[in-house]
Structure 1
Amino acid sequence: MVTIAFVDRVGSGLWTSVSVLYFTFVSHLDLAEIGTLVAVAGTIGIAGAPLAGRFADRLPLTRLLIAVQITRALASLALLTTDRYALLLAFCAVGGLGDRAGNVLTKLYAARVAGADRVRYQAVHRTAANAGWALGGLAAAAALALGSTGAYRALLIGDALSFLGCALLTLRCGEPPSPSRTVRTSKGPKAQAEPTNPWRDRTYLAFVATETVLFLDDAVFKIGLPLWIAHSTQAPHGLAPLLMVLNNVMVVALQVPLARLGATTAAARALLLPLSALFALGGLTLALSATGGTVTATLLLIASAITFTVAEMLHATVSWELSVALAPDTAQGSYLGVHGLAQSAQRSVGPLAVTLAIAAGPLGWTVYGTTIALTCLVQHRLLRDRLTGPPLSVPPITVSEH
């Protein structure tokens, strides 16, 4: 599954960074049409996480993963067949559903196969994904140097082929044990424990709500830093892509070592306290970067990028461990599907939140960082009583790393 993550993200790196350009120069859409397409497809894609989680408690996980990857490949290839707006919107929506579904299913696979070592497994998985994304992005940049319609189409075909490759690799993976399917088999298909519906679990829903806020840091690198550097600081504009590279390199180098800090449920919850301080510091350094000259602004922006990257890695560990620890064994898929809504919702809320922070100037970034920091403390308090029981564990099994 680690190899699959790498191949998947190579394809995503090929396409995501040029998708807007493809719709502009190949499909000939205007700016408003592209914005609407991305927004609507993204909104529809949110449903992919809970749907995948629900099916994963009832069907073999590897078969679902294969079906999702094939669906994503077909949705990508379908974009090559038309310039009609309605069809492009439909195909992008299907791709978005598959993307969010795939994220939940791979996370659930890790939970079932890695057992007590699930945090490290997820860290290795995330490292491989980031490395793949970087490689795909570099290949896309090289292809764009050609500036031709054929280059754009080749990148889209490469994206589709990566999904087909993932489907083939998944065929070599063993099916992990599923407590939910075991219970249903032994007690009958209608057997359902009362407390295993995540939509009735108020603590878990509150946890997901706080997670949506904590995931807002994702928009800092994708939208916040480039716009802030260009419009509000004395730093050179070329610093923005370099900070993205810094973020990626740090994640690849440090995600696995830092995951050890949250290897248990108690340790993961405890990390919320230093994580709070990191988010506050990141917002403050961004705010101060608007008050100095070129050198000062550059140094503060680098410091902020480092701070937010460390926070991103620690939150990935915390989020991964707590989302699984809070889920009953017999409904892991359904619970993780609901948790997936947090990251999906952030994709819609994040750009708006960052834009508002930039519009408000230095004070906006201070409020931005402080809000996320306070949410860390709220989450820490929210889970105090829920996590006093024994940690969740799933017996590990031997399975192909592919």
Structure 2
Amino acid sequence: MHPMRRAAAWSNRIPGGRDGRRMLAIALVDRIGSGLWASVSVLYFTYVSHLSVAQVGTLAASAGAIGIAGAPLGGRLADRFPITRILITVQLLRAVASFALLTTHEYALLLAYSAVGSLGDRAANILTRLYATRVAGPDRVRYQAFHRTVANAGWALGGLTAAAALALGTTTAYQWLLTGDALSFLGSALLTLRCGEPRTASRTVATSKAPPPTTKPASPWRDRTYLVYVASETVLFLDDAVFKVGLPLWIAHASNAPHGLAPLLLVLNNVMVVALQVPLARFGTTTAAARTLLVPVSVAFALGGAAMALSATGGIITATLFLTAAAVAFTMAEMLHATVSWELSVALAPTTAQGAYLGVHGLAQSAQRSVGPLAVTAAIATGPLGWTAFGTAIALTSLFQHRLVRERLARTPLSVPPVTVSEH
């Protein structure tokens, strides 16, 4: 097939129509910029801003902690105001925060600007996800698969560009990478201007001739089942910490594998997501099917932990093979859980308060960024038994979630009705 026809065929498979495709373009631009900056931010603050190791660590931790509020705040605003306007505002806020980092080396100001950027990052993540949920309707799981594929490709492009720029090792190179990150947010804001505003259940009621409901929208903070579900999600997102912290440290300190294996396993993770996320999505196209996937998710996490433990029992070849097997298992768990999480987080939420609920769900990933490094370093400190316990604990959490949502889903429709998107 001609490349142009192949691209057109791939495009026509994307749910959400024209606006769905535009949001994927926004995700690509956004993640390319994030890939430029995420891999060099620590180096920028160290070599350009001349911060100490303690200052860099405190800055990253503080900005991350403040950014946690972005998810529920963005979701709450999306239930009250047009989501495209909020997303444009957030993207512009991120751009201003990135440009502001170029203007100073004062620690307090760098901390403040980083915190604003982190707040915007988490809010933009939830708003983009909520927009996709509304325009894709019942096809939201398949759309999520395309979104993750494009996002991972963007990260890879940004990361490769950053690696090439770092070969120069100059202050100007670091500054251009940060500038590229800021420009990606401006580009995302401009692209969002062309996106139609999806109609929500609450907005449809408000604009109809029927009187609006007098009851308050449901609050996720008073929904005990949903809060427990979000807590379990924090555990299931720990695969992120495995690839960012666990594998590199385990290879460096406790296995016989060559240190150069660590970046190769990260590449393997990225390639698998780009190649397999869309095909795997067909196994979770309904809420019931998504819940069923929690069983293989638990198996994948258990196998990943066991492979990590076994990697310490042999020489270079044995360690390399088991670490590769662990990376494959954890990546499978990541992809399957992404499908499950996207579907269940929406299915468990009332249609009139999706923004607020998805905002609270976003806290799971934010919390994992703080808890995850501690969990994997504890596994490393305990040795092979620690990794076995790590994988088993997450597997049991997956099975717990499978049981937790069963009764709730029995009282909830298994798919959302198609939503309409307003025309320009």
Q: Aligned pair in 2 of structure 1 residues 188, 142: CA closer, same or farther (>3 Å)? A: farther
Q: Distance in 1 between matches of 2:78 and 2:347?
A: 17
Residue 146 in structure 1 maps to residue 171 in structure 2? no
Q: Given the alignment, which residue of 243, 246, 259 partners 2:281? A: 259
| Number of the residue aligned with 2:338 | 316
From 366, 377, 380, the equivalent of 1:358 is: 380
Please give the residue correspondences for 1:182-193 in structure 2 after superposition, counting only pairs within 5 Å: 182-185=204-207, 193=215
2:302 corresponds in structure 1 to 280
Cα distance in 2, alignment partners of residues 189 and 89 from structure 1: 48
- Residues 134, 195 of structure 1: CA spacing in aligned structure 2 closer, same or farther, 3 A cutoff? same
Separation of aligned partners in 2, 1:153 and 1:190:
51
Counterpart of 2:239? 217
Kept in 2, the 8 Å contact 1:173–1:399? The answer is no
Task: Output the CA distance in 2 between the equivalents of 1:189 and 1:226.
Answer: 58
Query: Which residue is 1:289 aligned to?
Result: 311
Q: 1:161 aligns with which of 154, 160, 183?
A: 183
Q: Distance in 1 between matches of 2:179 and 2:210?
A: 44
CA distance in 2, matches of 1:78, 1:188: 48
1:391 aligned onto 2:414: yes
Quick one: which amino acid aligns to residue 104 of structure 1? Answer: I
Once the two structures are TM-superposed, the CA of residue 186 in structure 1 deviates from its matched residue by 5.4
Contact 1:282-1:308 within 8 A present in 2 as well: yes
1:345 to 367, 379, 398: 367
Deviation beyond 4 Å, 4+ runs, structure 1: 184-192
Instruction: For 1:37 and 1:192, locate their aligned partners in 2 and report how far apart those are by CA, in whole Å.
Output: 45
1:26 matched to 2:23? The reply is no
Residue by residue over 1:53-73, the C-alpha shift from the partner in whole angstroms, topping out at 9 and shown as x without a partner, is 000000001111100100000
The whole-number CA distance in structure 2 between the counterparts of 1:390 and 1:21 is 49
Matches within 5 A, 1:16-165: 16-165=38-187
The correspondence for 1:177, drawn from 199, 206, 225, is 199
Aligned partner of residue 194 in structure 2, secondary structure? coil
CA 153–190 in structure 1, closer or farther in 2 if over 3 Å, else same: farther
Match of 2:356 in 1: 334
Question: How far off is 1:393 after superposition?
Answer: 1.1
Contact persistence 2:199–2:422 (CA under 8 A): no
Matched, 1:226 2:228: no
Q: Secondary structure at the match of 1:390?
A: coil
Question: How has the CA–CA distance of structure 1 residues 238 and 399 changed in structure 2, closer, same or farther, with 3 Å as cutoff?
Answer: farther
Q: CA RMSD in A?
A: 1.6
CA shift in 2, pair 1:190/1:77, >3 Å: farther
CA distance in 1, matches of 2:400, 2:422: 38
1:208-256 deviation per Cα after TM superposition (whole angstroms, max 9, x unaligned): 0000010011100111101000101110000000000000000000000
| Alpha carbons of structure 1 residues 175 and 166: separation in structure 2 relative to 1, 3 Å | same
One-letter amino acid matched to 2:160: L
Name the CA distance, whole Å, in 2 between partners of 1:192 and 1:283.
Answer: 50
Instruction: Give the deviation of 1:196 after TM superposition.
Output: 1.1
Find the aligned partners of 2:175 and 2:38 in 1 and give their Cα distance: 13
User: What's the counterpart of residue 4 of structure 2?
Assistant: none
- Which has the higher relative contact order, 1 or 2, with Cα contacts under 8 A spaced 6 or more apart? 1
Aligned to 2:396: 374
* Letter of the 1:13 counterpart: G
How many angstroms apart in 2 are the aligned matches of 1:104 and 1:197?
17
* Corresponding residue SS for 2:322: helix
Gap change, CA 1:189 and 1:19, over 3 Å in 2: farther
Q: How many residues align?
A: 400
Q: Deviations over 1:2-21 (max 9, x none)?
A: 01111100000000000000
* Matches of 1:192 and 1:118, distance apart in 2: 30
Q: 1:19 to 1:202 in 2, by over 3 A?
A: same
Evaluate the alpha carbon distance shift between residue 40 and residue 187 of structure 1 in structure 2; reply closer, same or farther with a 3 A threshold: farther
**Matched residues in 2 for 1:46 and 1:182: separation?**
30
> TM-score under structure 1 normalisation?
0.97
CA distance in 2, matches of 1:282, 1:383: 25
TM-score under structure 2 length normalisation? 0.92
Structure 1 unaligned spans of 5+ = none
The Cα of 1:146 is off from its aligned counterpart by 0.3
Shift of 1:395: 1.6
Paired residue type of 2:395: A
Return the letter of the residue paired with 1:25.
Y
Q: Hey, what's the Cα distance between the residues in 1 that align with 2:304 and 2:280?
A: 18
Alpha carbons 1:59, 1:181 under 8 Å: kept:
no
In the aligned structure 2, how far is the partner of 1:247 from the partner of 1:177? Answer: 36
Aligned residues of 1:108 and 1:336 also touching (Cα < 8 A):
yes
% same residue: 75
Secondary structure class of the residue paired with 1:384: helix
Shift of residue 391, structure 1, vs aligned partner: 1.7
Q: Could you say which residue in structure 2 is the equivalent of 1:238?
A: 260
Deviation at 1:290, TM superposition (A): 0.6
How far is the alpha carbon of 1:191 from its aligned partner?
A: 5.3
Q: Structure 1 200/293 Cα, relative in aligned 2: closer, same or farther at 3 Å?
A: same
